[in-house]
Structure 1
Amino acid sequence: MATDTARTTEIDVAALTADEAAKEHARLGEEIAGHDKRYYQDDAPTVSDAEYDALRRRYEAIEDAFPELKGMDSLSEKVGAAPSSKFAKIRHAVPMLSLGNAFAAEEVEEFVARIRRFLGLATDAEVAMTAEPKIDGLSCSLRYEEGRLIVAATRGDGFEGEDVTQNVRTISEVPQHLKAKDVPAVFEVRGEVYMGHTDFAAINERQKEAGKPLFANPRNAAAGSLRQLDPKITASRPLRFFAYAWGEVSEGGLPADTQSGVITAFNRWGLPTNPLTVVCRTAEELLAHYHSIEEQRASLGYDIDGVVYKVDSLALQRRLGFVSRSPRWALAHKFPAQRAITQLERIEIQVGRTGALTPVAKLTPITVGGVVVSNASLHNEDYIKGIGGGGEPIRGGIDIREGDWVTIQRAGDVIPQVVGVELERRPADAKPYEFPTLCPVCHSHAVREDGEVVRRCTGGLICAAQAVERIRHFVSRDAFDIEGLGEKQVQAFYEWGLVKQPADIFTLAARDADPAALTRLKNRDGWGETSARNLFAAIEVRRQVPVNRFLYALGIRHVGETNAKRLLRHYGTIEALREAALNAVPPGEEHPKGNEAWAEMVATEGIGAVVAEAVVDFFAEPNNEAAVDALLKEVTPEPLEVVAASGAVAGKTVVFTGALEKMTRDEAKAMAERLGAKVAGSVSKKTDYVVAGADAGSKLAKARELGVAVLSEDEWLELAGAG
């Protein structure tokens, strides 16, 4: 069944209701902000430029259709992401804004026509514009005072950037001193720090030889190099710079009255400018230059992702001004994603650290945009089937099969994707792909939650793909909190074969003391007799642990610290919870079908169907059952502390409904739990009391139907001893 989110993602903006638009606007805002942080702060984008631009366009289209959603915190008013806390912050005297985007020739023609209309010019009037390659690097502002470089800053969020002055000083193409006579007293040069293809290949080769992670592309390499805390590292990286704009300029200081004239002055001052910058006078000339640069793209030696057009006259730029986060007088004409056709040899399922099963296309290698591609993303199960997350067809409903000839897209030159199928070339024996329902790593059940497109392995405790992450969680502070067993130690123990699942932690000392042990822990790298003895002692004191911590440590999806307490307050023991989970699945069924055990778990206060299904899926997996049994042989979960466990309401199941007068509903629930009662969210045969306040509704009616005792607020307080 499709979720509301899936529906609003697929539906046309014009057809959204006000409520749907608000939810979609908020969801898009959160997603875009995350992408901004990963791109501008972390230098690690996770979506292509095309995908990001599509999100932005939909976000802004919703604001156009529903203006009430556009507030001060709207992303359409913001640029980039907040600067990293690792660097000192610098406030830009003149904001570093972004540009509007175009993807089609018609949009460029409309851009020129719009400028004519705004300025009141004839429809065929010439409007001189510069056209320059859009460099795919990191924007930077250089402030010169009396010709000397004083400070350099990244774009940041457009208003405040990071101080990277010492790092920029190491870039040979950035002059430390502008010696020309017409340099203004204060002049902020703006441009792009980038890395060439040859230099990028060389630096990745050095990374490989040093056993360090490779950079994904030149843009990431340039951004990561410029944002080093140690300028010596930046100095060792071959960064370059193109100047193309300016920020603050002392009064009357501009060296020309046109964009092209200022760029010419930059060149005269010793600042590097792009030689492919030209002046055009019609939309036709702009598009001709765009196509010329597009043809040269592969041979330029550096990455570009489009062409930028700017009105040449600075006087006209001032008249045109700005709209939202972009100037009216400039536009970025983006290149389409680069594509090629090759054969999909097989589909391989990769299991991530959280258990997500991700399909990857293994391709006959093909060169796309100068890079050899042999793997591509297939996103998820529904994408392979040719349907979207909301159950809607994509690619005309054509599925993807092993043996197909497929179109590969390197969108944004980052993440190769399969975006089309050559149906007429499909092999006669190609069969629809059957997505596995068992984890390919550990063979545990792989399940999908309602409304989700991701299928996940349920064998978290024994799955090798998830093992290290799960064990790290198991020993973390809020779980078993085993001192001396941190991330590095867990990784090492797993690689050494000492700890493959949680129970192995508690047998570690005995196995280490076995005379047959090949290598004692004290003799391994990074360990000694004292550190090994201390670790074994720390493990020993955790053989008794509160039952809620035990449950949380198992790493069940959606069961955090709070839900672990809620479940154990209701069921009391791990054994009771496990029995309830197993009883919730009728024999021969894969999912709960609404029986009494399922209804009780869903009705547990604060739980619900999503959490309950995750618990049922976990305990229904035989591999997990064996792992929990092994753990329970080594560890004794201690019951939750219950105050006044012998009181009148201890062990009783209570449901609160209606408006209470003497305390809030939350206070009443907390008091009941302190007194040892179980608070449920719905009424069933197992309910002992329903406490009904004013305007009680269906729960009160259900209680009367089942013959459950109904108490007023005062009667409840008297029974609980608080009256």
Structure 2
Amino acid sequence: MMTPPEAQKEIQRLSRELKQHNYNYYALAQPTISDQEFDKMLEELAALEKEFPQFARPDSPTRKVGGEITKTFRTVRHRYPMLSLGNTYSEQDLLDFDKRIKKLIGENFQYVCELKFDGVAIGLTYREGKLVQAVTRGDGAKGDDVTTNIKTIKNIPNYIYGSDIPPEFEVRGEIFMHRKAFARLNAERVEQGEMTFANPRNFAAGTIKMQDSGEVARRPLDCFLYSLLGENLPYKTHFESLEKLTEWGFHVSEHIRRCNTIREVLDFIHAYEKERFEFSFDIDGIVIKVNSYAQQEELGFTAKSPRWAIAYKYKAEEVETLLESISYQVGRTGAVTPVANLQPVQLGGTTVKRASLHNANEMERLDLRPGDMVLVEKGGEIIPKVIRVNFEKRPQGLATASFPAVCPECETELVRNEGEAVHYCPNDTGCPPQIVGRMQHFIGRRAMDIQGIGSETIELLYQKGLLKNIADLYELKTKEEILLSFDRFGERSVNNLLEGIEKSKEMPFERVLFGLGIRYVGETVARKLAAHFKDIDRLAAAGFDELISVNEIGDRIAESILDFFNDPEHLSLLERLRAQGLQFKTEEKEIQLQSNRLEGKTFLISGVFEGYSREELKSMIELNGGKIASGVSAKLHYLVAGENMGPSKREKAEKLNVPIISEKELLSMLA
């Protein structure tokens, strides 16, 4: 039993931690604990608040449905609250749920069982058959308007046709990403030196919150629809409305069943517990709903959840196996990743031999030692992970696993930057996997797209001594006779290779910049840098303040760019590429002015804005004769301040008496 002061302190702790986990899950799309751990903490908090109601706060996580509302999209109030479902991991809870339903409405009712997709909830409003709005769950009462992004998803119709379509209705569903697409896209992020997503659900969540809908369209999202809402709809049951959605052309899952008893519900749950691993997408449970709309209305709602529905969640599958050894992989960017080599074991329908250990912090947290029996989980993860050691089975005398001090490939001393969990090999010009990886990245489809040469060919030519860096590719034309002497290199294949290399010289500056493989400079960042600086010389000469003034360029990216251009070997490489005729400039486009209202004025845009992105505000200023500054100076006319603007910019502007204006004030200047 807790004393009131102890209970108050524990309620505060749990509330604080749950809010942070909610933010990590919904806003950042980077969860740090499992769903099961989160639900357990939430139950503990709910129990304490029930016992000590005097300490329960109105904004408690037990009273919230979802995550934080981001400020980068317009906030919209849901016409029908987007409540979450009560959930359980216990079959006994389902039996108790069934008893409560019978007590309230009698024995004459049906359930509908559906898969619980592990994705991102979305509400789609159609008016006269046209998709007019798409809103995320948000906090259940309000969500983010992401209509432009959602319209790029192929399985969501922008228009529907039929004679019986209501004038206005809302359909709800779950946006998700298929496992193979997730694995491919995450591998590309690794190649670009970018942070990977934990699972497909988080990748989908991160994608629909992007401000560049063109980038959203390039990512293969999918969506299942599972609910129809509206005024005066003629359908009497949930199952009937799902059939109608299918008829109208919506993507509705075929794995749905009407059940007359709770035993039939349990049979459905058991049937999919193993079968779920055969799907191309993730599910984490089964949703059970009372079928009749009239009975749903009679059962009603709690403050947070409908009384007529519940979600049964599967426990993440885990198995025990032997940790045989730990190896260390060096990636293209020099990041060193520890990998657990396991005694092969069946998990989630596949044979698992290896599991990522992420970094030194994770190894230390787990206290791993080769020879340990470890538990491995695959849950919503694509790549299996070691979740804990079975210390009861640890043999005596096992040596502690320690992260290597030097690179396993070139024996250069590893570095670990302050505030980062990853160790890096700094020998980017002499470490074989980094050299090969950078060349493979450079020729890739999303970079220079060099036809006639693949990853295996790059590795072969490196081993033969013909390639040591990306500039060597453009000198292969002088070594045609040597290429023809290799096995599998006929005249036609050599011609294709050389033609592909020559054609790559036409690739625009943004693709060349991405292809250089600067750490943290992915495809989107390269595009923004190219648009801002226009040519590589301006980029190379930019200082830290000018770099971070570019939209989405943070401290880490800016420091990486500075390091790259301060390296004499990199500068020598760039000059060789320039001499070969690669595109190091962006073609200037003439701006057609809308007005000269802002002529002679300079503006600096900083922070996050509610109505427009920073790029949109910059474009408005330029189209009306204004100029965009790269930093705060005495010559700056206005600092346009959004949320989360850095305090240093504000302090410097105030010190120099530069007017600080809001988004609304800027728009009034343009009116």
Question: TM-score scaled to structure 2, two decimals?
Answer: 0.57
Alpha-carbon distance change, 264 to 137 in structure 1, aligned in 2, over 3 angstroms = same
1:34 aligns with 2:15: no
**1:75 offset after TM fit, Å?**
1.5
Structure-2 change in CA distance of 1:80 and 1:468 (3 Å): closer
Q: Which amino acid aligns with 2:288?
A: Y
Give the drift of 1:282: 1.4
1:411-560 matches, within 5 Å, as 411-413=379-381, 416-419=385-388, 421=390, 423=392, 426-427=394-395, 430-431=396-397, 464-467=415-418, 487=556, 490-491=559-560, 519=568
CA contact (8 A) 2:338 2:356 kept: no
Q: Which amino acid aligns with 2:13?
A: R
Aligned to 1:651: none
Kept after mapping to 2: 8 A contact 1:49/1:411: no
CA contact (8 A) 2:8 2:55 kept: yes
Which residue in 2 is equivalent to 1:159? 141
Shift of 1:482: 9.7
Matches within 5 A, 1:270-669: 270-345=249-324, 363-364=342-343, 366=345, 368-369=347-348, 372=352, 373-376=354-357, 402-413=370-381, 416-419=385-388, 421=390, 423=392, 426-427=394-395, 430-431=396-397, 464-467=415-418, 487=556, 490-491=559-560, 519=568
Q: CA deviation at 1:483?
A: 7.5
- 1:206: Cα distance to partner? 4.7
Cα distance change of structure 1 residues 316 and 345 upon mapping to structure 2, 3 Å threshold: same
List per-residue Cα deviations over 1:30-71 (Å, max 9, x = no partner): 111111112111222121111111121111121122222323
Q: Distance in 2 between matches of 1:200 and 1:489?
A: 28
1:220 aligns with 2:202: yes
Q: Which one-letter code corresponds to 2:27 in the other structure?
A: Q
Q: 1:267 to 1:483 in 2, by over 3 A?
A: closer
Does the C-alpha gap of structure 1 residues 402 and 521 become closer, same or farther in structure 2, counting only changes over 3 Å?
closer
Task: Note if 1:143 corresponds to 2:125.
Answer: yes
Q: Is the 8 A contact 1:82 1:160 kept in 2?
A: no
* 1:96/1:159 contact within 8 Å kept: yes
Match of 1:704 in 2: none
* Displacement of 1:101: 0.9
Name the counterpart of 1:59. 45
Once the two structures are TM-superposed, the CA of residue 208 in structure 1 deviates from its matched residue by 5.2
1:173 to 155, 161, 170: 155
Q: Are 1:234 and 2:203 matched, yes or no?
A: no
Residues 401 and 147 from structure 1, CA distance in 2 versus in 1: closer, same or farther, beyond 3 angstroms? same
Does structure 1 residue 86 correspond to structure 2 residue 72?
yes
Distance 1:87 1:258, change over 3 A: same
On the 8 A contact 1:337/1:413 being kept in 2, the answer is no
Aligned to 2:529: none
- Are the structure 2 counterparts of residues 118 and 417 from structure 1 closer, same or farther at C-alpha, using a change threshold of 3 Å? farther
SS in 1 for 2:82: coil
Q: 1:62 to 1:118 in 2, by over 3 A?
A: farther
CA distance in 2, matches of 1:103, 1:130: 19
Confirm or deny that 1:188 pairs with 2:188.
Answer: no
- For residue 327 of structure 1, give the secondary structure of its aligned residue in structure 2: coil
> What is the CA distance between 1:411 and its match in structure 2?
4.5
Amino acid at match of 1:301: S
The superposition leaves residues 487-516 of structure 1 with CA deviations (integer Å, 9 ceiling, x where unpaired) of: 5564467789x9xxxxxxxxxxxxxxxxxx
Deviation at 1:407, TM superposition (A): 2.2
Deviation at 1:383, TM superposition (A): 6.8
Question: Are 2:37 and 1:69 equivalent residues in the alignment?
Answer: no
Q: Is the 8 A contact 1:50 1:412 kept in 2?
A: no
Report the AA paired with residue 118 of structure 1. L
Query: What's the counterpart of residue 133 of structure 1?
Result: 115
For 1:234 and 1:493, the matched residues in 2 are separated by 29
Structure 1 residues 483 and 195, CA gap change in structure 2 (3 angstroms): closer
Displacement, 1:220? Answer: 2.0
> Does structure 2 retain, via aligned residues, the 8 Å contact 1:363–1:376?
no
- The Cα of 1:382 is off from its aligned counterpart by 9.9
Paired residue type of 2:371: G
The residue correspondences of 1:644-723 to structure 2 (distance < 5 A) are: none
Q: 2:240 aligns with which of 257, 261, 269?
A: 261
Distance change >3 Å, CA 464–CA 283, structure 1 → 2: same
Look up the SS of the partner of 2:219 in the other structure.
coil
Amino acid at match of 1:218: P
Residue identity in the other structure for 1:65: E
Q: Distance in 1 between matches of 2:544 and 2:155?
A: 52
2:385 alignment partner, SS class: strand
**Aligned counterparts of 2:92 and 2:15: Cα–Cα separation in 1:** 28
Deviations 1:542-590 (A, max 9, x none): xxxxxxxxxxxxxxxxxxxxxxxxxxxxxxxxxxxxxxxxxxxxxxxxx
- C-alpha displacement at 1:205, in angstroms? 4.8
Deviations 1:528-552 (A, max 9, x none): xxxxxxxxxxxxxxxxxxxxxxxxx
Residues 190 and 349 of structure 1, relative CA distance in 2, 3 Å threshold: same
Which of 219, 226, 229 pairs up with 1:244?
Answer: 226
Letter in 2 for 1:76: T
Instruction: Kindly provide the amino acid, as one letter, of the partner of residue 271 in structure 1.
Output: F
- Measured after TM superposition, the shift of residue 142 of structure 1 is 0.3
Partners of 2:23 and 2:278 in 1: CA distance: 31
**Counterparts in 2 of 1:192-207, with a 5 A limit?**
192-207=174-189
Equivalent position amino acid for 2:37 in 1: E
Structure 1 runs not aligned, ≥5 long: 1-14, 351-357, 386-399, 443-461, 471-480, 499-517, 527-723
Secondary structure of 2:378's partner? strand
Do the aligned residues in 2 keep the contact of 1:37 with 1:80 (CA within 8 Å)?
Answer: no
Give 2:256's aligned amino acid: T
Deviation at 1:26, TM superposition (A): 1.2
Rg bigger for which structure?
1
**Aligned equivalents of 1:165 and 1:346: distance in 2?**
49
AA paired with 2:381?
D
Separation (CA, whole Å) in 2 of partners of 1:488 and 1:300: 38
Give distance in 2, aligned partners of 1:274 and 1:287: 19
Q: Equivalent residue for 2:467?
A: none
The whole-number CA distance in structure 2 between the counterparts of 1:239 and 1:520 is 41
- Assess if the C-alpha contact under 8 Å between 1:97 and 1:158 holds in 2: yes
In the TM superposition, residue 405 of structure 1 has moved relative to its aligned partner by 2.1
Match of 1:116 in 2: 102
Question: 1:312/1:176 Cα in 2 relative to 1: closer, same or farther (>3 Å)?
Answer: same
RMSD between aligned alpha carbons? 3.7
Q: Match for 1:26: what amino acid?
A: Q
CA distance in 1, matches of 2:39, 2:112: 23
C-alpha contact 2:199 2:380 (8 A) present in aligned 1? no
Structure 2: gaps of 5 or more residues: 330-336, 407-412, 422-542, 548-554, 576-671
Distance, in Å, in 2 between the alignment partners of 1:332 and 1:232 is: 35
- Cα distance in 2 for partners of 1:114, 1:348 equals 54
